[in-house]
Amino acid sequence: MQAAMQGAEVEAQKKFKVLPIMISLLIAGFIGMFSETALNVALSDLIQIFNISEATVQWLTTGYLLTLGILVPISGLLLQWFTTRQLFIAALSFSIIGTLVAALAPGFEMLMAARVIQAIGTALLLPLMFNTILIIFPAEKRGAAMGIIGLVIMVAPAVGPTIAGLLIENLSWHWIFWLSFPFLVIALLFGIAFMQNVTTITKPKIDVFSIVMSTIGFGGIVFAFSSAGESDTGWGSSKVIISMIVGVLALVIFAVRQLTMKQPIMNLRAFKFPMFVVGTSMVFICMMVILSSMLVLPMFLIRGLGLSALTAGLMMLPGGLINGIMSPIMGGLFDKYGPKWLVIPGLVIVAAVLWFFSGVTTASTLTLIIVLHSCLMIGISMVWMPAQTNGLNQLPRELYPDGTAIMNTLQQVAGAIGTAVAVSVMTAGISSYMKGVADPTDPANGPLAMTSGIQNAFVFATIVAIAGLILAFFIKRVKVEKH
């Protein structure tokens, strides 16, 4: 029976036009991820243009991630209700509309709304991308395939700040979105021409109560973390405490319901597989580290060291490109040697670099920051793809949609929590520094306060990385049957 199923799987894989499907997904994925981080370099400018605070401007990132955190959980269900082509076209349509609205946005509110529309597109696309790869590639080639996806997912956020810096310097922040627009249209046309239906539609029953609980649960937790960075009372604010309690309770109800349903919206039985749990935890930690550092580092470069948006973007470029180049290499090494010898050294590098970052000052050289950022990205590439692929490989085929939905949901929640906590730690560091100076109005104190805040944010990231390193010792290679 098992041999017959594997034979059918191989036959199915043979009839897919893998290259056109991959190109469609990669173009769309690249622009989706580019949009996620390109705005980071513009945040310091947007604070002044819209006359808003750091805590308010971070909602452009957190709101995007919050939307992903709410929608990605139901993506497993959508993958079983709609064809690959239908979901791909819907994802690209939302991304195109959101990008157009952002490009025309006159103020913060409309830009915020545009980010939510863009996020709906990305929320549909990311799980579709991973699920399609699990279906069209045999298990022994998945490391390399995930590595190519990793190349795109990592290079896009890397070049995002540089291109955005160039556009801000010469044109305006609106051009970040005008640049993405034609590529999204090309990806849509390419997908309409070449995308094939790879999933089996089973149309499971839709449980509205589960969807509501998932939305309140994931939304409440992300909202609580984000609001903590916004209010003066921080974690003690009633808004934060109530959101957190409501979110946790809703998630508990959601989890219990999923485990007792015959056809759950998100099959939490995927957590029965230990390597899936370890892999998901690793991705969670990587996402917290990478998104928090990519938000606070440009702020330090621009407002602590007084660099231009373009220079800050250029300084982030080498690390991101190295990460992109390393991703397929790590995918190949994973296929050959398994995850342990990549993940453990990777997390040692990440923790060490973040500890060094927690000591940066206004006197730190630009070369030091570029080298540290590059080493951080090498470490992340050694952890992310091997842990993710190893975890998904342990799941049986029928759990692929749920596994990718769980991993992608927690990834977005991790990103939102990471950025929100980093900003709240940074803001607390800035205000405590300002309270201790003789003359808070002295402009010389601004960069020093910013540096103090950044150091605290990197201490938080170091603690997260050390927790990941302890967990890494439990990772084991999943044996996959060769077809």
User: Tens digits of per-residue pLDDT, 186-206?
Assistant: 888 887 876 666 666 666 677
pLDDT of residue 203: 67
Q: What is the pTM of this model?
A: 0.73
pLDDT of residue 61: 74
For residues 205-213, average pLDDT: 80
pLDDT 10s digits, 341-377: 888 899 999 999 999 988 887 777 888 888 998 899 8
CATH class of 13-196+263-472: mainly alpha
Taking CA atoms, 311 is separated from 10, 124, 302, 470, in Å, by 49, 34, 9, 36
Residue 384 corresponds to which tokens in the numbers above? 């992310």
pLDDT of residue 353: 92
- Cα of first residue to Cα of last residue in the chain, in angstroms, is 14
pLDDT 10s digits, 171-182: 777 888 888 888
Q: Where are the domains of the chain?
A: 13-196+263-472, 205-262
Smallest CA-to-CA distance from 477 within 271, 268, 278 is with 278
CB of 251 closer than 8 Å to CB of 217 = yes
- Residue carrying structure tokens 């050694």: 382
Q: What percent of the chain has pLDDT over 90?
A: 5
pLDDT 10s digits, 428-450: 777 777 777 777 677 777 778 87
- Residue carrying structure tokens 């219990």: 256
Could you tell me the pLDDT band of residue 257, with boundaries at 50, 70 and 90?
Answer: confident
Q: What percent of the chain has pLDDT over 70?
A: 86
pLDDT of residue 204: 65
pLDDT 10s digits, 34-77: 776 677 777 777 777 777 776 677 777 777 777 877 777 777 67
pLDDT of residue 223: 78
Could you tell me the pLDDT band of residue 8, with boundaries at 50, 70 and 90?
Answer: very low
pLDDT of residue 3: 45
For residues 102-114, average pLDDT: 85
pLDDT 10s digits, 70-99: 777 777 677 777 777 788 888 889 989 998
Taking CA atoms, 72 is separated from 119, 121, 128, 211, in Å, by 10, 10, 10, 11
Could you tell me the pLDDT band of residue 218, with boundaries at 50, 70 and 90?
Answer: confident
Radius of gyration of the chain (CA): 22
pLDDT above 60 (res 231)? no
